[in-house]
Amino acid sequence: MENKNTETAIFAGGCFWCTEAFFTDVKGVEKVVSGYIGGKTENPTYKEVCGGYTGHAEAIKITFNPEEVAYEDLLEIFFATHDPTTLNRQGADVGTQYRSEVFYTTEAQKIAAEKFIKELGEQNIFDKKIVTKVTAATKFYPAEDYHQDYYAQNPNQPYCQAVISPKLEKLKKHYKSKLKNQ
Protein backbone atom coordinates (compact mmCIF):
# COMPACT_ATOMS: atom_id res chain seq x y z
CA MET A 1 0.00 0.00 0.00
CA GLU A 2 1.42 3.36 -1.04
CA ASN A 3 1.81 6.08 1.57
CA LYS A 4 -0.74 8.87 1.12
CA ASN A 5 1.86 11.42 2.20
CA THR A 6 3.98 11.08 -0.90
CA GLU A 7 5.04 13.44 -3.63
CA THR A 8 6.39 12.86 -7.10
CA ALA A 9 9.66 14.19 -8.49
CA ILE A 10 10.67 13.73 -12.14
CA PHE A 11 14.25 14.21 -13.31
CA ALA A 12 15.95 13.75 -16.68
CA GLY A 13 19.72 13.57 -16.48
CA GLY A 14 20.96 11.27 -19.20
CA CYS A 15 20.52 7.52 -19.30
CA PHE A 16 17.73 6.47 -16.96
CA TRP A 17 19.65 3.35 -15.94
CA CYS A 18 22.06 5.66 -14.12
CA THR A 19 19.59 8.09 -12.59
CA GLU A 20 17.33 5.29 -11.39
CA ALA A 21 20.24 3.56 -9.64
CA PHE A 22 21.16 6.77 -7.79
CA PHE A 23 17.76 7.30 -6.19
CA THR A 24 16.68 3.76 -5.35
CA ASP A 25 18.63 3.72 -2.08
CA VAL A 26 17.81 7.24 -0.88
CA LYS A 27 15.96 7.37 2.46
CA GLY A 28 12.35 8.38 1.96
CA VAL A 29 12.24 7.25 -1.66
CA GLU A 30 9.49 4.68 -2.02
CA LYS A 31 9.62 3.98 -5.75
CA VAL A 32 11.65 4.90 -8.82
CA VAL A 33 10.33 4.26 -12.33
CA SER A 34 12.32 4.74 -15.52
CA GLY A 35 10.42 6.26 -18.41
CA TYR A 36 9.91 8.99 -20.95
CA ILE A 37 8.58 12.54 -20.66
CA GLY A 38 8.50 15.83 -22.49
CA GLY A 39 7.85 14.68 -26.04
CA LYS A 40 5.07 14.59 -28.57
CA THR A 41 4.62 10.86 -29.24
CA GLU A 42 2.08 8.91 -27.19
CA ASN A 43 3.33 5.62 -25.72
CA PRO A 44 6.86 5.96 -27.08
CA THR A 45 9.19 2.98 -27.27
CA TYR A 46 12.81 2.89 -26.20
CA LYS A 47 13.90 2.58 -29.84
CA GLU A 48 11.87 5.66 -30.82
CA VAL A 49 13.16 7.73 -27.90
CA CYS A 50 16.80 6.65 -28.42
CA GLY A 51 16.48 7.51 -32.10
CA GLY A 52 15.53 11.06 -31.13
CA TYR A 53 12.20 10.82 -32.97
CA THR A 54 9.78 11.64 -30.15
CA GLY A 55 11.10 14.69 -28.31
CA HIS A 56 10.99 12.73 -25.04
CA ALA A 57 13.77 12.62 -22.49
CA GLU A 58 14.82 9.48 -20.66
CA ALA A 59 13.73 10.28 -17.12
CA ILE A 60 12.88 8.86 -13.74
CA LYS A 61 9.70 9.32 -11.73
CA ILE A 62 10.40 9.24 -8.00
CA THR A 63 7.70 8.65 -5.40
CA PHE A 64 9.00 9.98 -2.11
CA ASN A 65 7.86 10.80 1.41
CA PRO A 66 8.65 14.49 2.06
CA GLU A 67 8.65 13.80 5.81
CA GLU A 68 11.67 11.56 5.28
CA VAL A 69 13.50 13.29 2.41
CA ALA A 70 13.17 16.88 1.26
CA TYR A 71 12.72 17.70 -2.40
CA GLU A 72 15.83 19.88 -2.07
CA ASP A 73 17.83 16.79 -1.03
CA LEU A 74 16.67 15.02 -4.18
CA LEU A 75 17.72 18.06 -6.22
CA GLU A 76 21.14 18.02 -4.55
CA ILE A 77 21.69 14.37 -5.45
CA PHE A 78 20.38 14.91 -8.98
CA PHE A 79 22.81 17.75 -9.67
CA ALA A 80 25.71 15.89 -8.04
CA THR A 81 25.25 12.77 -10.16
CA HIS A 82 25.12 14.17 -13.69
CA ASP A 83 26.60 17.06 -15.68
CA PRO A 84 24.00 19.83 -15.85
CA THR A 85 26.28 21.98 -18.02
CA THR A 86 26.20 19.89 -21.20
CA LEU A 87 23.33 20.54 -23.58
CA ASN A 88 21.63 17.36 -24.77
CA ARG A 89 24.46 15.14 -23.63
CA GLN A 90 25.70 13.01 -20.74
CA GLY A 91 29.07 11.43 -21.40
CA ALA A 92 28.88 9.34 -24.57
CA ASP A 93 25.07 9.63 -24.70
CA VAL A 94 24.17 12.42 -27.13
CA GLY A 95 20.77 13.76 -28.17
CA THR A 96 17.81 15.63 -26.73
CA GLN A 97 16.67 12.39 -25.08
CA TYR A 98 19.67 12.75 -22.73
CA ARG A 99 19.01 16.36 -21.76
CA SER A 100 19.14 17.70 -18.22
CA GLU A 101 15.68 18.73 -17.10
CA VAL A 102 13.63 18.99 -13.92
CA PHE A 103 9.94 18.32 -14.53
CA TYR A 104 8.09 19.86 -11.60
CA THR A 105 4.79 18.50 -10.35
CA THR A 106 3.96 21.39 -8.00
CA GLU A 107 4.59 25.12 -7.96
CA ALA A 108 6.71 24.63 -4.83
CA GLN A 109 8.97 22.23 -6.76
CA LYS A 110 9.33 24.77 -9.55
CA ILE A 111 10.39 27.47 -7.10
CA ALA A 112 12.77 25.10 -5.28
CA ALA A 113 14.42 23.90 -8.51
CA GLU A 114 14.87 27.43 -9.89
CA LYS A 115 16.29 28.61 -6.56
CA PHE A 116 18.65 25.62 -6.36
CA ILE A 117 19.98 26.20 -9.88
CA LYS A 118 20.46 29.90 -9.16
CA GLU A 119 22.39 29.10 -5.97
CA LEU A 120 24.62 26.58 -7.77
CA GLY A 121 25.39 29.23 -10.38
CA GLU A 122 26.19 31.86 -7.73
CA GLN A 123 28.49 29.43 -5.92
CA ASN A 124 30.33 28.59 -9.16
CA ILE A 125 29.98 24.87 -8.41
CA PHE A 126 30.42 24.08 -12.11
CA ASP A 127 32.99 25.46 -14.55
CA LYS A 128 30.29 26.19 -17.14
CA LYS A 129 26.77 27.58 -17.07
CA ILE A 130 24.01 25.19 -15.97
CA VAL A 131 21.71 24.38 -18.91
CA THR A 132 19.16 22.32 -16.97
CA LYS A 133 15.60 23.31 -17.86
CA VAL A 134 12.80 23.52 -15.31
CA THR A 135 9.53 22.51 -16.98
CA ALA A 136 6.01 21.59 -15.90
CA ALA A 137 5.59 17.83 -15.94
CA THR A 138 3.64 16.41 -18.83
CA LYS A 139 2.50 12.81 -19.21
CA PHE A 140 5.12 10.34 -18.01
CA TYR A 141 5.32 7.03 -19.88
CA PRO A 142 6.95 4.16 -17.98
CA ALA A 143 9.71 2.49 -19.97
CA GLU A 144 9.57 -1.15 -20.97
CA ASP A 145 9.86 -3.65 -18.10
CA TYR A 146 13.45 -4.65 -18.90
CA HIS A 147 14.56 -1.05 -18.12
CA GLN A 148 13.11 -1.07 -14.61
CA ASP A 149 15.67 -1.69 -11.85
CA TYR A 150 18.20 -2.17 -14.66
CA TYR A 151 21.34 -1.72 -12.59
CA ALA A 152 20.10 -3.99 -9.79
CA GLN A 153 19.30 -6.71 -12.31
CA ASN A 154 22.42 -6.23 -14.47
CA PRO A 155 25.28 -5.07 -12.21
CA ASN A 156 27.90 -6.97 -14.22
CA GLN A 157 26.82 -5.60 -17.59
CA PRO A 158 29.81 -3.63 -19.05
CA TYR A 159 27.94 -0.27 -19.15
CA CYS A 160 26.87 -0.72 -15.55
CA GLN A 161 30.42 -1.58 -14.46
CA ALA A 162 32.08 1.24 -16.40
CA VAL A 163 29.59 4.06 -15.92
CA ILE A 164 27.13 3.44 -13.09
CA SER A 165 29.24 1.62 -10.48
CA PRO A 166 31.89 4.38 -10.12
CA LYS A 167 29.17 7.04 -9.80
CA LEU A 168 27.33 4.98 -7.19
CA GLU A 169 30.53 4.67 -5.15
CA LYS A 170 30.90 8.45 -5.23
CA LEU A 171 27.26 8.85 -4.19
CA LYS A 172 27.70 6.43 -1.27
CA LYS A 173 30.81 8.27 -0.13
CA HIS A 174 29.37 11.79 -0.26
CA TYR A 175 25.73 11.12 0.68
CA LYS A 176 26.02 8.22 3.12
CA SER A 177 23.72 9.87 5.68
CA LYS A 178 20.93 10.20 3.08
CA LEU A 179 20.98 6.55 2.01
CA LYS A 180 19.03 3.55 3.31
CA ASN A 181 20.92 0.86 5.24
CA GLN A 182 24.06 2.95 5.61
Catalytic residues: 15
**Adjacent-strand bridge partners of 136:** 104
Element (H, E) at 57: strand 57-64
DSSP for 22-55?
A: HHHTBTTEEEEEEEEESSSSSS--HHHHHTT-S-
- Listed in sequence order, the residues at least 6 apart from 3 whose beta carbon sits closer than 8 Å to its beta carbon are 30, 65
**Adjacent-strand bridge partners of 90:** 93
Q: Are 180 and 65 in contact (CB under 8 A)?
A: no
- Listed in sequence order, the residues at least 6 apart from 41 whose beta carbon sits closer than 8 Å to its beta carbon are 48, 53, 54, 55, 56
